[in-house]
Structure 1
Amino acid sequence: MTERREGVLDDDVIVERLKAELPHWRYEDGWIRRTYKTASWKSTLMVINTVGHLAEAAWHHPDLTASYAWVEVRLMNHAAKGVTEKDFALARKIEEVVAWQPGAEGGALEGTPTDQRFAYIKYEH
């Protein structure tokens, strides 16, 4: 039997919560993960900086892997050695900010143009 540290969520709870709360995220190898597809290196850097800002503000630090047109975000509470409520809270905030589509809301903020020269995130619906 594996000892669970206080606050670490059980695997089955993590999987069910991801399905219900963060459907674009997955649970793999002890981390909750999300890969954001971007339009270019510039967009990739914007996602990395956004995630970095949110993580620092939350005093929680994800692992990131990036390439030209994607960023993978991995969350696991290093101190607790497992996925906790803190990981879910940060994942929700990252998702809210990075996947935000102002053009879909209407109003004064129109969102990025469809012209590939100005593309940002490849939004998943």
Structure 2
Amino acid sequence: MSVLTQTEIEQRLLGLPEWEYYDNAIHAEFEFENFKDCFSAMSRMAFECEALNHHPEWTNEYNVLKITLTTHDAGGVTDKDFKLALAIEHIVEEDEE
């Protein structure tokens, strides 16, 4: 899998306003109503991670989830990171409804 250029990354981020590109990765932070809702979303995300065989770096503090995506094997951001970011966005959007 090939690493995306900065221009390609910036273009794709236009459709993912919660995400930013820095330090050779894409990053997002999501705030939930409470810890239970945050952890529930993380559990659903875990299934997507397994399905895509791609696992984020993430931290959870009470109701805040911080996620970093990069493809370590490729040495940067790839299509795989954006596929997972989109899946994560769908899960977060479901929680907001």
TM-score, with structure 1 as normaliser:
0.70
Following TM superposition, by how much is the alpha carbon of 1:89 offset from its aligned partner in structure 2, in angstroms?
1.0
Higher RCO structure (Cα 8 Å, ≥6 apart): 2
Corresponding residue of 1:14: 9
Match of 1:67 in 2: 61
Which amino acid in structure 1 is aligned with residue 3 of structure 2? V
CA contact (8 A) 1:50 1:98 kept: no
Change (3 A) 1:101 1:46: closer
Say if 1:44 and 1:67, in contact at 8 Å, map to a contact too. Answer: no
User: How far off its partner does 1:102 sit?
Assistant: 8.1
Secondary structure of 2:13's counterpart equals helix
Alpha-carbon distance in 2 for matches of 1:48, 1:93: 12
| Within-5 A mapping of 1:68-107 | 68-100=62-94, 103=97
Structure 1 residue runs of 5 or longer lacking an equivalent are 1-5, 104-125
The letter for the 1-side match of 2:91 is V
C-alpha root-mean-square deviation of aligned residues, in Å?
1.7
Structure 2 segments unaligned to the other structure (5+ residues): none
Deviation of 1:29 (Å): 1.1
Which protein shows a greater Rg? 1
Q: If each structure's helix is expressed as a fraction of its own residues, which one has the higher value? A: 2
Alpha-carbon deviation of 1:33? 1.2
Structure 2 residue 44 is the aligned partner of structure 1 residue 46: no
TM-score w.r.t. the length of structure 2 is: 0.89
SS at match of 1:16: helix
Structure 1 residues 42 and 101: alpha-carbon distance in aligned structure 2, compared to 1, 3 A threshold: closer
Deviation at 1:39, TM superposition (A): 1.2
Measure how far apart 1:12 and its partner are.
Answer: 2.5
Distance 2:46 2:72 in 1: 16
Equivalent pairs counted in the alignment come to 97
Identity %: 34
The structure with the greater share of residues assigned to strand is: 2
